[in-house]
Amino acid sequence: MSDSDSDEKSSHDGKPPTEDLQEEAPAAGEVVHDRLSADETFQRIVAAADEEVTRDNSELFFSGLAAGFAITLTFLLHAVVAAAVSGPAETVLGSLLYPLGFLYIILGRYQLYTENTLPPVTLVLERIASVPTLLRVWGLVLLANVIGAAGGAFVLANSGVMSTEVAAAAAEFGRKALEISPLDLFLKGLFAGWLVAGIVWLLHAVRDSVSRILLVYVVFLSIPAAELYHIVVSVMDALFLVFLGEVGLMPAVIGFLVPVLLGNTAGGVVLVTLVNYAQTSDRLASDDESQPRLSMREWLFGPLAR
């Protein structure tokens, strides 16, 4: 045996190597944290939300517009696969490419309305941002999403991008939704809003890109597989029929889009944001000068309170 090997052995003070490893291992019953706690996830969301609400209106709008355009991919690919399959498994198999538009949005960090129901609300709950600021972010992003989705629906309805079979499958999405009662649409939107806002929480909790992609794919696949409704995709479903001349704009908005929008918002805010906020104990310090609290008047009225 060489002198270097002897020196290495002596560095263990005469103890076997396995004994050193046992000393370095955690004691019995000790928790090894290999994932973020709820408090750490909450702090990440607050930091991301602060970046969102401080963006100017044009940045929010064009980011939301890009997200609306990207939803065209989801609508188109969903119709392509749905037209190609049939039988008892049609709902699930036809949804296999549905998540791709959402992957494009989330990996590209575009602004999507349902994704925005969670982060800005955390700032409002902490009284770092005002209610009018929240409504500004929501309103701009939703408007931009709708304009982008409407543009995609118009092009698809008035061009030869879709084959006859694919266009028929795409039109069936909206027809089927218009047969559902507003209450059931609200409840379907509620669960979809819960899923989408929940994915925001999960994406801030995981650490690697592969897990993020897998989470996004599985969660968004579950929306059409469970026959739930996402507001921006629903805008495409409805406006595609409007541009084909099969339904009027107001019946589509009132009977389809409004219940889904209310359900998505309630699911994201109540089922995810408020519940997850309640389980976090590590609130921002009340004397943290870097994040000053708004007065109740400023919190409610924003710039109008000054």
Domain boundaries, the chain: 38-283
Any idea which residue has 């100017």 for tokens?
56
Task: Report how far residue 38's alpha carbon sits from residue 279's, in angstroms, rounded to the nearest whole number.
Answer: 7
Token duo for residue 77: 């690919």
Closest C-alpha to 99, from 215, 16, 197: 215
Cα torsion angle, 116, 118, 119, 123, sign = positive
- Compute φ and ψ for 158, nearest 5 degrees: -120, 30
pLDDT given for residue 291 in this prediction: 67
* Beta carbons of 210 and 223 less than 8 angstroms apart: no
pLDDT given for residue 29 in this prediction: 46
Task: Report how far residue 10's alpha carbon sits from residue 303's, in angstroms, rounded to the nearest whole number.
Answer: 70
Per-residue pLDDT in tens (0 to 9) along the chain, 306 residues: 555 555 544 444 555 544 554 444 455 444 445 567 777 887 888 887 788 888 899 999 999 999 999 999 999 999 999 999 987 777 888 899 999 999 999 989 899 998 877 788 888 888 888 999 999 999 999 999 999 999 999 999 999 999 999 999 999 999 999 999 999 999 999 999 999 988 888 888 887 888 889 999 999 999 999 999 999 999 999 999 999 999 999 999 999 999 999 999 999 888 888 887 777 755 554 445 556 788 888 888 887 766
Task: Report how far residue 136's alpha carbon sits from residue 37's, in angstroms, rounded to the nearest whole number.
Answer: 31
pTM: 0.83
Closest C-alpha to 122, from 286, 284, 252: 284
CATH of domain 38-283: 1.20.1080.10
Closest C-alpha to 226, from 203, 258, 251, 196: 196
* Beta carbons of 123 and 129 less than 8 angstroms apart: yes
Task: Report how far residue 138's alpha carbon sits from residue 132's, in angstroms, rounded to the nearest whole number.
Answer: 10
Three-state SS letters, the chain: CCHHHHHHHHCCCCCCHHHHHHHHCCCCCCCCCCCCCHHHHHHHHHHHHHHHHCCCHHHHHHHHHHHHHHHHHHHHHHHHHHHHCCCCCHHHHCCCCCCHHHHHHHHCCCCCCHHHHCHHHHHHHCCCCCHHHHHHHHHHHHHHHHHHHHHHHHHHHCCCCCCHHHHHHHHHHHHHHHCCCHHHHHHHHHHHHHHHHHHHHHHHHCCCHHHHHHHHHHHHHHHHHCCCCCHHHHHHHHHHHHHHCCCCHHHHHHHHHHHHHHHHHHHHHHHHHHHHHHCCCCCCCCCCCCCCCCCHHHHHHHHHHC
* Beta carbons of 123 and 291 less than 8 angstroms apart: no
pLDDT given for residue 137 in this prediction: 93
Alpha carbon of 77 to those of 23, 82, 95: distances in Å? 56, 8, 9
Token duo for residue 293: 């609290």
pLDDT given for residue 48 in this prediction: 79
